[in-house]
Amino acid sequence: DAGVIQSPRHEVTEMGQEVTLRCKPISGHNSLFWYRQTMMRGLELLIYFNNNVPIDDSGMPEDRFSAKMPNASFSTLKIQPSEPRDSAVYFCASSLSSPDGYTFGSGTRLTVV
Amino acid sequence: QKEVEQDPGPLSVPEGAIVSLNCTYSNSAFQYFMWYRQYSRKGPELLMYTYSSGNKEDGRFTAQVDKSSKYISLFIRDSQPSDSASYLCALSGNTDKLIFGTGTRLQVFP
């Protein structure tokens, strides 16, 4: 298995633009998580899905952020409009509904200028 | 107060040293305790997983959980330069979601 695949690896965009981050979880995993990592705040859970259904989105910072999981093999995290404070590394992880089984992707490094 | 507290370091030790990394937490509902290792510009990877209080050993790594004190530790024996990375504790209750510490950056120099 290729693991959790995220794209793009790097994204540089101007303030106000829409940004879409993509994630392909490991086949057979039924939980998917979006995290954001910054030096100041560490790894923060934004939202997680179980069987494609959003379970907890309490970490989504504000209405500018939205996430979808249209099927078991694909999820997106969208920021519209983007702001410089959104600059961070965004990680996607998947698991088989077990806390010991998270596999992380390599992350998307987002820079908003 | 954060749910999980972890000293960010950095921690710099010579090769062969014993390293102690720690986290404290406030929520007694946490039942699963993990340590992840994260190399620069990579995603975190699971290193150790424990469920109950006590020690768990895996090679040079030992994870220790003290639920009464809400304190977890990771010990690395005979540390190697290849151990240089950030180490994040992660805790979970009875749901799938993990709460992470901010991570401790470790540098092992030859």
Confidence (pLDDT) at A112: 97
Kindly state the helix (H) or strand (E) to which residue A7 belongs, with its residue range: strand A5-7
**For A75-92, what is each residue's pLDDT tens digit?**
999 999 999 999 999 999
Cα-to-chain-centroid distance, residue A72: 15
Q: CA neighbours within 13 Å on the CB side: how many for B15?
A: 5
Closest CA in chain A for residue B42 = A106
What 3-state DSSP class applies to B83?
helix
Residue A65 has pLDDT above 80, yes or no: yes
**For B10-52, what is each residue's pLDDT tens digit?**
999 999 999 999 999 998 889 899 999 999 999 999 999 888 7
Question: E strands within chain B?
Answer: 4-6, 11-14, 19-25, 32-38, 45-50, 54-58, 61-66, 71-76, 85-92, 99-100, 104-109
Residue A111 has pLDDT above 90, yes or no: yes
Instruction: Provide mean pLDDT across the span B57-85.
Output: 96
Closest CA in chain B for residue A4 = B43
Confidence (pLDDT) at A99: 66
Q: Which two tokens stand for residue A60?
A: 């989504």
Element counts in chain A: helices (H) and strands (E) = 0, 11
Kindly state the helix (H) or strand (E) to which residue A88 belongs, with its residue range: strand A88-95
Closest by CA position to A5, among listed A78, A71, A73: A73
A96 touches chain B (CB under 8 A): no
Which position has the token pair 């996430």? A67
C-alpha pair distances (Å), B84 with each of A77, A95, B3, B11? 31, 26, 26, 10
Interface residues from chain B to A (CB-CB < 8 Å): 6, 32, 34, 41-46, 49, 88, 90, 92, 95-103
Confidence (pLDDT) at A1: 65
Given an 8 Å threshold on Cβ–Cβ distance, is B42 in contact with A106?
yes
Confidence (pLDDT) at B25: 95
Respond yes or no on whether the N-terminal peptide bond of residue A8 is cis (omega within 30° of 0). yes
What DSSP line would sit under A28-45, residue for residue?
Answer: T--EEEEEEEETTTEEEE
Closest by CA position to B108, among listed B82, B72, B70: B82
Nearest-angstrom CA–CA distance, A65 and A63: 5
Instruction: Provide mean pLDDT across the span A19-26.
Output: 97
